[in-house]
Structure 1
């Protein structure tokens, strides 16, 4: 029990840091919330007993986030003290770059997959979802339109292409996150608050995926192909396709919503759709391979889990299957 207390404290401060950032009325408060998040998440990363890469991941995460936080503070200082000497768009330019670094958007994404490889699945889920809330909220308030559009399209394409030849599920989730960031920041650049709905659906789908990986104790694509249970494979299959955004699954709803927002800019929408098709390709490749290939030799052991846990995971997967219908009715 004593071992769990520090983790609870760190999660509490991560929550407080995010709350400070999104509710602050001052730029200093936003920066302070980002620092709370950084300093609370670092101790959670370090887990030398189970993962030897965790210390390396913590150092890389700290260095990148510290540099980005310094740039955020610099842009805020320019807003306050040097706005008469600089072009007003300069602070927005610096802030867009720094927050893109914090989010792991292209071309500042190189730290992201390396850090993910050093995390357990719980910390990976926090990095993929909760840690993105504060930077995205600040980015929705201060951004340079042309730069953000460029970074969003680059992220969507890089996330899709770099995920093609990955076998590690953590890296697949990482590049999927980068591609989804491209969609979310594209919605933000058109001054729409609907990116929050996109983020909620993405977080829910990622949560089910990570929960399945934890329950089935799998980390690589080969382990999925070895699984004997068709039901387990179907759970991963449905949620992967939902994360890729194939209709009529829940993951298609935020993309349908993005279509209605970005329909005024056809070139941007076409590039995003192209990246989404590439993402769907490597998801479909993984899914079809799991059903058509089966290796009788066990290279890894996967743990058998209780039927009640399988049932709860099946219910969550069913929500991604039918969730598109009520959300579409609500939106339209």
Structure 2
């Protein structure tokens, strides 16, 4: 408004307000290197509030970024996005707290969206929708189990043993392994980067995605592939444990089984 004389963000004529607005939105989205506030804030919140902060609260900043996409600096977004993928994966490697792991996971996923925003905005929207579904599914399962760290998660199979395989599949989807839904956006983003001759950036992001995949695999191994020692009575918890969230199966299906309808999704883009 100071430069243009009107309250609009669609046609900014100076780089200064664009840079300030971009930086503010990067801080709001917890994009690296402005991401350090998110894990500590997430750790102090309850699980439902964490889910809202990592899903619903991403919509408004991403909507603003998509609106001002023609004004954005592609090089700046590429740097922010690549840093987010690297630091988001790196930060979650040694975390025992699931909420902090999901916070760093959010930073890494948003890095993929930011990199491709200027190149293919529709792909950013697709990635955002899938990210929201996968994160919501993960938090709904954590809410059902009331687990906040890896040690509690390891013994949660006594509460709901059928939920553990579903959680492993959702974690694989978050990591981007085929044939889950999470493989779709990473594949398309890497393809788009290669089309624009950004092979080095695509290679760095693909390798950095392995960092995130490591802590997803660690969670999956702890929850589904091991059976920690428990008391005999605790093995009967599942008979009386009654989860009350009916949205969990819907979100799990959404976050894991969209790959077969890939041609339809591509036509919509």
TM-score between both structures, scaled by the size of structure 2: 0.83
How far has the Cα of 1:126 moved from its partner?
1.5
The reply on whether 1:118 has 2:22 as its aligned counterpart is: no
Partner of 2:248: 313
Partner of 1:252: 183
How far has the Cα of 1:191 moved from its partner?
4.8
Partner of 1:277: 210
Residue range with higher mean Cα deviation, 229-238 or 95-104:
229-238
C-alpha distance 307-175 of structure 1, shift in aligned 2 (>3 A): closer
How far has the Cα of 1:159 moved from its partner?
0.2
How far has the Cα of 1:202 moved from its partner?
0.6
Instruction: Show structure 1 runs of 5+ residues with no match.
Output: 1-75, 82-86
The answer to whether the 8 Å contact 1:239/1:320 transfers is yes
How many Å separate the matches in 2 of 1:261 and 1:164?
28
The reply on whether 1:231 has 2:162 as its aligned counterpart is: yes
Deviations 1:88-145 (A, max 9, x none): 3222222211110111111111111111112222221111111111211222214222
Deviations 1:298-319 (A, max 9, x none): 9x9x885337858x63454344
Deviations 1:141-195 (A, max 9, x none): 1422221111111111000000000111110110000000100001113252321
Count of matched residue pairs: 249
Select 1:214's aligned residue among 137, 140, 143: 143
Equivalent residues in 2 for 1:35-184, closer than 5 Å: 76-80=1-5, 88-140=14-66, 141=68, 142-184=71-113
- State the secondary structure of the residue aligned to 1:106: coil
C-alpha RMSD of the superposition: 2.5
- State the secondary structure of the residue aligned to 2:122: coil
C-alpha distance 221-328 of structure 1, shift in aligned 2 (>3 A): farther
How many Å separate the matches in 2 of 1:239 and 1:292?
17
Partner of 1:38: none
C-alpha distance 93-309 of structure 1, shift in aligned 2 (>3 A): closer
How far has the Cα of 1:328 moved from its partner?
4.2
C-alpha distance 130-79 of structure 1, shift in aligned 2 (>3 A): farther
The answer to whether the 8 Å contact 2:98/2:148 transfers is yes
How many Å separate the matches in 2 of 1:77 and 1:91?
9
Deviations 1:204-224 (A, max 9, x none): 111111110111111111111
Partner of 1:292: 226
How far has the Cα of 1:329 moved from its partner?
4.5
How many Å separate the matches in 1 of 2:256 and 2:56?
24
